[in-house]
Amino acid sequence: MSAQKSQDLPLWVQDRDEVIAQSKDAQWRYGVPPDYSESKAGLAEESKCCHLEGSLEAIVQNLVRTFEMEVSFKSNPQQWLSVVQDKFRMSSNGGSLYTAEDVYAFGTYNVFIGDVENYKASEETFESSGKLFRTAFPKGFLWEVLEVYSGPPNVTFKWRHWGTFNGPYKDYAPTGQTVEIVGMSLARVTDDLKILAVEHYFDNSEFLNKLTSGKKQAKDQQPGNACPFGSWLKRLKLR
């Protein structure tokens, strides 16, 4: 698809940097829009797929990345372009249904993972969960679409979420290995490609087992208060 045809697509299925650039009146959680320049560099080096601009795979990938950006950084869910706010529902592995307001309040990690061994969403906040995974993956926790199996209105796709485990996870030492989740999602979308509902299915036990495979660190071996998350909030260099 040509660049002109790509620009004719709804804004929320274009590159998320374009969404950010055109969200001039958005209320940002941290006062300024996010900067994904480090993420783009990481994706260019580590992605397994290079989807043709305007392809169904690229459209789905852009939509999900826009959704993740809006959940994480737009503080008013009514300004989210990627979803139908009053109808949106999200679930993981057949669990509870969450509204747009729920996802904003709890954070995507907490809604995505829930209460399982080695991670208790009920004991984490939006901020603490972000700190936990940003510390474990200081170079970012990247995401891409691998395959799309069906198009609108019921979009079924396979995805990959990964990062290099270079920082501690809780009191577990980093291993330096690439840690990834591979899963499937089903998204119901409107005619103009806004998300009505999305169901995620994945095995998070293997992912969390890898994060707890390193030796436990003594308290005096763990990083001090100057964790990577503090500088990340200032720079907003994201996945």
224-239 pLDDT, tens digit each? 443 433 333 333 444 4
**106 belongs to a structural domain:** yes
Structurally, the chain folds into a number of domains equal to 1
- How far is the C-alpha of 221 from the C-alpha of 98, rounded, in Å? 38
**224 belongs to a structural domain:** no
User: Confidence class of residue 132 from pLDDT cuts 50, 70 and 90?
Assistant: very high
- How far is the C-alpha of 59 from the C-alpha of 71, rounded, in Å? 18
**239 belongs to a structural domain:** no
Q: Return the pLDDT at 170.
A: 94
- What is the span of the domain harbouring residue 44? 3-218
Asked if residues 43 and 144 have their Cβ atoms less than 8 Å apart, the reply is yes
In the predicted structure, residue 22 carries a pLDDT above the cut 80: yes
Query: Which range is least confidently modeled, 77-81, 82-86, 133-137, 234-238?
Result: 234-238
Q: For residue 43, what are the β-bridge partners? A: none
Asked if residues 111 and 102 have their Cβ atoms less than 8 Å apart, the reply is yes
| Residue % of the chain over a pLDDT of 90 | 84
Q: Return the pLDDT at 75.
A: 95
Q: Return the pLDDT at 217.
A: 79
Q: Return the pLDDT at 219.
A: 62
- How far is the C-alpha of 69 from the C-alpha of 57, rounded, in Å? 18
| Residue % of the chain over a pLDDT of 70 | 88
pTM higher than the cut 0.75: yes
Q: What is the CATH number of the domain that holds 152?
A: 3.10.450.50
**90 belongs to a structural domain:** yes
**77 belongs to a structural domain:** yes
User: pLDDT tens digit string along 84-119?
Assistant: 999 999 999 999 999 999 999 999 999 999 999 999
- How far is the C-alpha of 126 from the C-alpha of 70, rounded, in Å? 14
**98 belongs to a structural domain:** yes
**236 belongs to a structural domain:** no
**151 belongs to a structural domain:** yes
Nearby residues of 86 by Cβ (< 8 Å), 6 or more positions away? none
